[in-house]
Amino acid sequence: MTTAHHDALIDTHHEHEHHDTGGDTVFGFWIYIMSDCLLFATLFATYAVLSSSFAGQITAKELFDLNFVLGETALLLFSSFTFGMAMLYANKKQMKGMIAWLCITFLLGLSFLGMELYEFYHFSHEGATPQTSAYWSAFYALVATHGLHVFAGLIWMLVLFAHFKRDGISEENLVRLSCLSLFWHFLDVIWICVFTVVYLMGVM
């Protein structure tokens, strides 16, 4: 076996190992997503059990503004589309387009969080705090947990900006971006459930 042939075999082996590591990372992240599903399932179940426990205090129907929540929902759903565009540009190795779409995604996620915090402030001002009743405790636990996940996604995005600036569109960074994409789309699905179960059923 020639030296060149031997080196080529080693390079192929390393490349194979590299791709396997990327696959393992995404697979491991799917396991995390499934564990997060269990967390949200528990919170949804708790909310369902306590959905009528207002203790004679202010009710959800009195406070929920469906138009406002539809605005929040539109922001988050559109951010899923913009993240998809960022992934397309990333796969084409077009840094400028990818960063532009990621920035739009970041701003949409930040706007969603801003609206959610305003809603919490408004509810608290009207007398609906986690201490008001079992219902409001369950409401804040579920909705705020989703909000914290969105916040974590935004921090993760900022970290990825630094990685892309340092290393460019490397295979490792593509794997990281793919994992964040999975996470972001997962949060969209959870929010649709929140919108339906909490807000839509809350005003009916």
| Region for residue 168 given its phi and psi (left: phi exceeds 0; alpha: psi -120 to 50; beta: otherwise) | left
Q: Exposure of 52 by Cβ count < 10 A (0-12 exposed, 13-18 middle, 19+ buried)?
A: exposed
Q: How far is CA 10 from CA 13, 21, 35, 203, in A?
A: 5, 16, 37, 63
Side-chain half-sphere of 114: how many Cα atoms within 13 Å? 8
Say which CATH class 31-51+58-203 falls into.
Answer: mainly alpha
Alpha helical stretches, state H, 50-94: 60-63, 66-91
pLDDT for position 19: 47
pLDDT for position 22: 66
- What confidence tens digit (pLDDT) does each residue in 52-73 have? 999 889 999 999 999 999 999 9
Taking the domains of the chain in order of start, what are their residue ranges?
A: 31-51+58-203
Q: What average pLDDT does the structure give for the chain?
A: 90
pLDDT for position 14: 45
pLDDT for position 24: 80
Amino acid letter at 203?
V
| C-alpha span between 160 and 95 (Å, rounded) | 13
Helix (H) or strand (E) holding 103: helix 95-125
Residues whose CB falls within 8 Å of the CB of residue 52, separated by 6 or more in sequence, listed in order? 135
User: Among all chains, which residue has been given the structure tokens 């599903």?
Assistant: 37
Q: 159 is written with which tokens? A: 């970290």
Q: Which one-letter DSSP state was computed for residue 169?
A: S
Under 8 Å between Cβ of 37 and 187? no
**CA angle, corner 174, sides to 172 and 35, nearest 5?**
90
pTM, two decimal places: 0.86
* 3-state SS, residue 87: helix
Q: State which residues of the chain have pLDDT below 70.
A: 1-22
pLDDT for position 21: 60
Chain mean position to CA 167: 24
Q: Which one-letter DSSP state was computed for residue 92?
A: T
